A and B are shown apart, each in its own frame.
Chain A
Amino acid sequence: MPADQPLDLLQGTLDVLVLKTLSWGPAHGYSIARWIRTVTNDALHVEEGSLYPALHRLEKRGLLQAAWGLSENNRRARFYQITARGREELRREAHSWSAFAAAVAKVLGGTERPEWA
């Protein structure tokens, strides 16, 4: 079920999503995109083209490895796999995301009134 209004992605968020997705196992770009769409109910508006610069950048940083393989319907596809360093990065990023989200949630969900109000 698509959300009413797709959210724009914050800078760097896509990287974490990719890493998280790949933490389940190697995948090609299309299945990564599909998975993100499914899990988020298409709430995040990911322009699928922009996935590729992210993948290539992560590969360059050594967080991913890429290799050609055969897709489920026997097409030549480029598979990405998360590296040990990638998992490390994911852990770090996930942690700071949670901290960020918790902080934002605290403010938004707050019932206390500020002193000047």
Chain B
Amino acid sequence: MRNHLWHRYLRFWRSDPAADLDDELAFHFQACVDDAVAAGMTVEQARADAARRLGDLRRVRATCLAIDAQYARSRSMAEALHGVTSDLRVALRQLRANPALTVAAVLCLTLGIGANTAIFSVVDAVLLRPLPFPNAERLVLVGEGLPMVSEKNFGTISTPDFLDYAALDGSVFASSAIFQNRSADLTGDAAPERVAGIEASSSLLRVLGVSPALGRAFQPGDDAEGSADVVMLTDALWRRRFGADPAIVGRTIHLDGAPATVIGVMPRDFVFPLPGLDVEPAGFLVPLRMTSAVLQTRGNSYNTLMIARLAAGVSRERAAAAVNTIAARLPALHPDAYSTHARVVATAVPLRERLVSDVRRTLLILMGAVGCVLLVACINVSGLLLARAAARSREIAVRTALGATRGRLVQQFLAESALLVALGTVGGLLVAHWGAHALATLAPAGSLTGYRVGLDPRVFVLALAISTIAAVGFSLVPALQHGSAELPARLREEGRSASAGRRRQRARRLLVVSEIALALMLATGSGLLVRSFVKALRVDPGFTPEHVLVFQAVLPRVRYPDAAGVLRAEQSLVERLGEIPGVRAAGAAVQAPMLGSWRIAVTPEGMQLDKVPLVVNDMVLPGYFKAMGIRLLEGRTFDARDTSSTQPVAIVDEQFAQRYFPGTSAVGRRLKWGSATSPAPWITIVGVVRAVKAKSLDEQSTPETYFPALGSAANPELVDAMLRGMTYVVRTTGDPLALTTSVRNVVRTMDPELPLTHVQSGEMLVSQSMTNRRFTTLLFGAFAVLALVLAATGIYGLIAYSVTQRQREIGVRMAIGATEARVVRLILREGAWTAALGTALGVMGAVALTRVMRSLLFGVGALDLVTFASAPALLIAVALFSSWLPARRAARVDPSASMR
């Protein structure tokens, strides 16, 4: 014990060990001298004698100091450890003594930290972590635009223009490459299967800075016309389809029936293209060849992505200016492809910016929402600890009286909250681990492919940072509540007086008010998203999705070499599908609704426009409109007579008709591809149909034109580029999916090697176009519910505590005749005031929040009245209910019992 006090003494006064040692030795010396003098020596003799007996004091002193220093080090460590363990022991006892509170607090923290860490793991993977290529920040995408047609840059280029931009290699760009979607049927070895792939110039891997794990990369000769067909496989396809055959390099595989030699396999983590480029991640890579057919597409189609690596020291801006200079010269250089007054612009955008442009805002808003949830959870825990601090008021007062400093109390509280937070963090990391996986699977198809979503050290550090801040915050709140000035008051206070802890209750009320405000913000945001979702669902897609089965099939060049043969086979497949019992109509289109769209520039006859309209285009086989349930409004649909040998015809949708032929009938009017001066022939409009949503229900639809697929028989390039792959549509009377087997049989009879892909019902078609919106809405909704529940428990705790404290007062009131209803009202009033204050603040917060969310909304304003009325109403109802529960209990109390 004395030793222990001595340690305190040493620590508090920071005593100097050297001075202590000198004192000790001086005492010895003096004692020697005293004794010797007492024995009769003179003082001088005594001193000399003492010095002799003590020996070399300098050495003694140095040795002792060295020992003491070592001792002090180990002692302070041991003492700190002892302090921490004893604090933790006390904390553990405290937590065990209040299991309900402990569980509630840990649960709050688990959910808060877990949800935050999970969302952050996605944010981190998509927005923060470097893309999975070396020096990915030097990668840019080059995109062209035609200001005459659209103010928006396409983000892609016309394939042959790459030859012009390649002049920048070695100056502005270190290297550049192009690639585009190229799916193929993989046949031989196993069942035929449609595999997504890309065609890329041989430089792609060099631009990306990736080399194959097996075999070699493309070489400059591989994309030369007439060179041997080669293919590279991704690790995933190699494993799945070829059983990770180590001897794959040199083997021949069949793509669309044509042999190609495998030259290499990509490393395991190679995923390309990343989501956000509108190209499915590739299973294989083949060289993109500048054939004469490809060269003819200059200025007609803009479907190729161009990626480039900036040369050292070149800024993104300089690269953008350089490509734009080249683009401006294109019409003059290629007068055969561009009309003389055409204008081409180009820009270069960092790869990441392009990838995340769609998701960044959504992710940040979700991050903000989940941050609010954590805040509510932390406030809740603070409230719980505050309430408990009240219950421990006497204990703390006693400890203070016994000499515990405020720092010491904070240390104890810190131990308790650290323990709570540690438990919450462990739980939170489990939730996050599971949640990150769930997010990756639930996220709209493919939107996270190629990103490593999971708990990496950064995510872990964030979780830890959150926890630490939370722990410190929690311990400060109750500790600061205990100013030592009010110590005597608290010692006297017995918890009986009605005014007890009023200050503390006020602090708690403030916490609950902010909880309600935050929960209301989230509820409002979530309400707006739900209303947007419902509004979007109610949008008429323009077709009848019920009883419809759609699937895709692509006729490969090997088995279907000529264009006319492709169209004949497709036409006959549609006819056979129509003969299946129970089928009411069958048809096919290049691009069914909801599956995306490609756009063309067309000129309607007789309209003075300052811009060439860019409209959605589709090419369809007879029967399509009936099968899809797209109503004909005027004129006729296509039939088997609309071929290449007859007068060219087109069908337009109502939007097109209204916009370009306002006030008159569009039927009989004409339009043509390209600008007014283009050499394309005039096409007569024969019908007007309802407008359909080309990509999703919540889009702003664009005018659309339809051309008969059979009219392209004389244009093999167009057939190869567009018409080999069709989406077939079968309308039945019953469950469309029940038809799948008969449909497969029909296709197999026609071509046993032809794989069907994307088989789905019309309803699935509609619903998959909503996955993004559904995902955001669900997630945001979940956060709002979480916040609401937390806020409800917060207000419940507040009122319940206040009821316990006012027990006596209530007893007195009831004894002098207050009715049960009166008491309930009394208590409810407290809850109502808290709720009202929180709601008022929350509405203000919601106005700010929903302003940021505007781009996520559909069909509702950011200040939608319905939402802004119902969310506060809901909050107040929840708050009143949460206060009513303890209020009712208070009123049931026997007055005589509560007053005793």
Chain B's closest residue to A32 (CB) is: B28
Q: How far is the CA of A30 from the CA of B31 in the complex (A)?
A: 7
- Contact check, B20 vs A78: say whether CB atoms are below 8 A apart: yes
- Contact check, B54 vs A65: say whether CB atoms are below 8 A apart: no
CB-contacts of A75-116 with B (<8 A): 75-78
Is B71 close to A, CB under 8 A? yes
Q: How far is the CA of A30 from the CA of B3 in the complex (A)?
A: 20
Task: State whether A52 and B23 are in contact (beta carbons under 8 Å apart), knowing that A47-B54, A47-B55, A65-B3 are contacts in the complex.
Answer: no
Q: Name the one of A34, A47, A50, A78 contacting B24, with C-beta atoms under 8 angstroms.
A: A78
CB distance from A117 to the nearest CB of B (A): 43
Task: State whether A75 and B30 are in contact (beta carbons under 8 Å apart), knowing that A48-B53, A48-B55 are contacts in the complex.
Answer: yes
- Contact check, B28 vs A53: say whether CB atoms are below 8 A apart: no
- Contact check, A50 vs B55: say whether CB atoms are below 8 A apart: yes
Task: State whether A75 and B27 are in contact (beta carbons under 8 Å apart), knowing that A47-B53, A49-B60, A60-B67 are contacts in the complex.
Answer: yes
Chain A's closest residue to B71 (CB) is: A60
CB-contacts of A53-69 with B (<8 A): 53, 56-57, 59-60, 65-68
Task: State whether A28 and B27 are in contact (beta carbons under 8 Å apart), knowing that A47-B55, A66-B6 are contacts in the complex.
Answer: yes
Q: How far is the CA of A71 from the CA of B34 in the complex (A)?
A: 13
- Contact check, B55 vs A60: say whether CB atoms are below 8 A apart: no
Q: How far is the CA of A75 from the CA of B71 in the complex (A)?
A: 26
Task: State whether A71 and B27 are in contact (beta carbons under 8 Å apart), knowing that A56-B71, A60-B67, A60-B70 are contacts in the complex.
Answer: yes
CB-contacts of B1-58 with A (<8 A): 2-3, 6, 20-21, 23-25, 27-28, 30-32, 34-35, 53-57
Residue from B2, B28, B60 having most chain A Cβ neighbours under 10 A: B28
Q: How far is the CA of A33 from the CA of B27 in the complex (A)?
A: 13
- Contact check, A49 vs B54: say whether CB atoms are below 8 A apart: yes
Task: State whether A52 and B25 are in contact (beta carbons under 8 Å apart), knowing that A30-B31, A65-B2, A73-B34 are contacts in the complex.
Answer: yes
- Contact check, B67 vs A53: say whether CB atoms are below 8 A apart: yes
Q: Inside 8 A of A73's CB, which chain B residues have their CB? A: 34
CB distance from B76 to the nearest CB of A (A): 13
Is B225 close to A, CB under 8 A? no
CB distance from A54 to the nearest CB of B (A): 10
- Contact check, A30 vs B60: say whether CB atoms are below 8 A apart: no
Q: Name the one of A53, A67, A75 contacting B63, with C-beta atoms under 8 angstroms.
A: A53
- Contact check, A67 vs B6: say whether CB atoms are below 8 A apart: yes
Q: How far is the CA of A33 from the CA of B71 in the complex (A)?
A: 23
Q: Inside 8 A of A34's CB, which chain B residues have their CB? A: 35
Is B64 close to A, CB under 8 A? yes
Chain B's closest residue to A78 (CB) is: B24
Is B493 close to A, CB under 8 A? no
- Contact check, B71 vs A77: say whether CB atoms are below 8 A apart: no
Q: Inside 8 A of A78's CB, which chain B residues have their CB? A: 20, 23-24, 27
Task: State whether A56 and B6 are in contact (beta carbons under 8 Å apart), knowing that A49-B55, A75-B27 are contacts in the complex.
Answer: no
Q: How far is the CA of A76 from the CA of B30 in the complex (A)?
A: 11
Give chain B's interface residue range (CB within 8 Å of chain A). Answer: 20 to 34
Q: Name the one of A48, A66, A67, A76 contacting B28, with C-beta atoms under 8 angstroms.
A: A48
Q: Inside 8 A of B23's CB, which chain A residues have their CB? A: 76, 78
Q: Inside 8 A of B53's CB, which chain A residues have their CB? A: 33, 47-48
- Contact check, A59 vs B71: say whether CB atoms are below 8 A apart: yes
Chain B's closest residue to A83 (CB) is: B3
Q: How far is the CA of A116 from the CA of B33 in the complex (A)?
A: 57
CB distance from B29 to the nearest CB of A (A): 9
Q: Inside 8 A of A71's CB, which chain B residues have their CB? A: 27, 31
Q: Inside 8 A of B31's CB, which chain A residues have their CB? A: 30, 71, 75
Q: How far is the CA of A34 from the CA of B34 in the complex (A)?
A: 13
Q: Name the one of B35, B64, B74 contacting A53, with C-beta atoms under 8 angstroms.
A: B64
CB-contacts of A6-29 with B (<8 A): 28-29
Residue from A33, A49, A68 having most chain B Cβ neighbours under 10 A: A49
Q: Inside 8 A of B55's CB, which chain A residues have their CB? A: 47-50
Residue from B23, B31, B74 having most chain A Cβ neighbours under 10 A: B31
- Contact check, A77 vs B54: say whether CB atoms are below 8 A apart: no
Q: Inside 8 A of A77's CB, which chain B residues have their CB? A: 24, 27
Q: How far is the CA of A77 from the CA of B31 in the complex (A)?
A: 10
Is B639 close to A, CB under 8 A? no
CB distance from B548 to the nearest CB of A (A): 86
Q: How far is the CA of A52 from the CA of B55 in the complex (A)?
A: 11
Q: How far is the CA of A17 from the CA of B154 in the complex (A)?
A: 94
- Contact check, A30 vs B27: say whether CB atoms are below 8 A apart: yes
CB distance from B81 to the nearest CB of A (A): 15
Chain A's closest residue to B28 (CB) is: A30
Q: Inside 8 A of A60's CB, which chain B residues have their CB? A: 67-68, 70-71, 74
Chain A's closest residue to B6 (CB) is: A67
CB distance from A13 to the nearest CB of B (A): 17
- Contact check, A30 vs B67: say whether CB atoms are below 8 A apart: no
CB-contacts of B527-566 with A (<8 A): none
Q: Inside 8 A of A49's CB, which chain B residues have their CB? A: 25, 54-57, 59-60
Q: How far is the CA of A54 from the CA of B2 in the complex (A)?
A: 21
Q: Inside 8 A of B21's CB, which chain A residues have their CB? A: 52
CB distance from A22 to the nearest CB of B (A): 14
CB distance from A111 to the nearest CB of B (A): 41
Q: Inside 8 A of B64's CB, which chain A residues have their CB? A: 52-53, 56
CB distance from A67 to the nearest CB of B (A): 4
Chain B's closest residue to A55 (CB) is: B64
Q: Inside 8 A of B70's CB, which chain A residues have their CB? A: 60
Chain B's closest residue to A58 (CB) is: B67
CB-contacts of B776-797 with A (<8 A): none
Q: Name the one of B20, B24, B56, B63 contacting A29, with C-beta atoms under 8 angstroms.
A: B24
Q: How far is the CA of A117 from the CA of B21 in the complex (A)?
A: 56
- Contact check, B28 vs A29: say whether CB atoms are below 8 A apart: yes
CB distance from A65 to the nearest CB of B (A): 5
Chain B 439-460, CB within 8 Å of chain A: the 1/0 string? 0000000000000000000000
Q: Inside 8 A of B71's CB, which chain A residues have their CB? A: 56, 59-60
Q: Name the one of B2, B20, B67 contacting A57, with C-beta atoms under 8 angstroms.
A: B67
Chain B 663-703, CB within 8 Å of chain A: the 1/0 string? 00000000000000000000000000000000000000000
Chain B's closest residue to A72 (CB) is: B31
CB distance from A44 to the nearest CB of B (A): 13
- Contact check, A33 vs B6: say whether CB atoms are below 8 A apart: no
Q: Inside 8 A of B54's CB, which chain A residues have their CB? A: 47-49
Q: How far is the CA of A76 from the CA of B20 in the complex (A)?
A: 10
Chain B 66-99, CB within 8 Å of chain A: the 1/0 string? 0110110010000000000000000000000000
- Contact check, A52 vs B60: say whether CB atoms are below 8 A apart: yes
Residue from A52, A59, A71 having most chain B Cβ neighbours under 10 A: A52
Q: Name the one of A29, A47, A53, A67 contacting B3, with C-beta atoms under 8 angstroms.
A: A67
CB distance from A69 to the nearest CB of B (A): 8
CB distance from B154 to the nearest CB of A (A): 79
Kindly list 9 other residue pairs between chains A and B, CB separation below 8 angstroms, not including A48-B32, A53-B63, A60-B71.
A28-B27, A29-B28, A30-B28, A49-B60, A52-B24, A60-B67, A65-B2, A77-B27, A78-B23
Can you name 12 A-B residue pairings with CB atoms under 8 Å? A28-B28, A33-B53, A49-B55, A52-B60, A52-B63, A53-B64, A56-B71, A60-B67, A67-B3, A68-B6, A71-B31, A78-B20
The 3 closest A-B pairs by CB, nearest first: A49-B55, A47-B55, A60-B71
